[in-house]
Amino acid sequence: MPIIHRPANYIDEYEAAARLTAFTFEEINLTATAVALTAATYQPPGAAAARAAWITFEPSVPRANIRLRLDGLTPTETVGHRLDYVDGNYEHFFLGEMVTVIGQGILLKNLQSIVLLRIRRADASVNVDMAVTYFR
């Protein structure tokens, strides 16, 4: 078995996530208009800001799509990262420094991505509820 040498300060993302504690929660109904997460919730006055957020979705139908952007700009019905929700899971899988999309949810891994997230449902006729748990 090969030996993996890592710097003394190396912590993988799963070790780091295990050290975080959930501290608050919010629910947001996605509409055809893009929304941001609630600043007063993830960055309460006089307290430490969130360092990560776990987001799950409850669409009103078995197939519902959302659009999101992580640059602070507004997604539209045709512009932005499209996540296709099919039979209880999102069909895209992405691991990166800012965000991970797996199965039924999105993990935002830093305050910058929490602040810059803009999200909406792609189909104006489908209702999608979003649940967000914040960690620090």
Classify residue 1: in a domain, yes or no. Answer: no
State pLDDT tens for residues 84-131.
877 666 655 555 566 676 667 888 989 999 999 999 998 878 888 999
| Neighbour tally for 52: CB within 10 Å | 22
> For the chain, how many structural domains are there in total?
1
Q: What is the CATH number of the domain that holds 56?
A: 2.60.120
Classify residue 15: in a domain, yes or no. Answer: no
Q: Domain limits at 29?
A: 21-135
Classify residue 10: in a domain, yes or no. Answer: no
| Neighbour tally for 9: CB within 10 Å | 5
Q: Which of 74, 90, 131 is nearest to 82 (CA)?
A: 90
Cα(23)–Cα(41) distance, integer angstroms: 10
In sequence order, the β-bridge partners of residue 89 are 86
The pTM assigned to this predicted structure is: 0.81
Classify residue 45: in a domain, yes or no. Answer: yes
Please report the pLDDT score of residue 127 as a whole number. 85
Cα(42)–Cα(50) distance, integer angstroms: 5
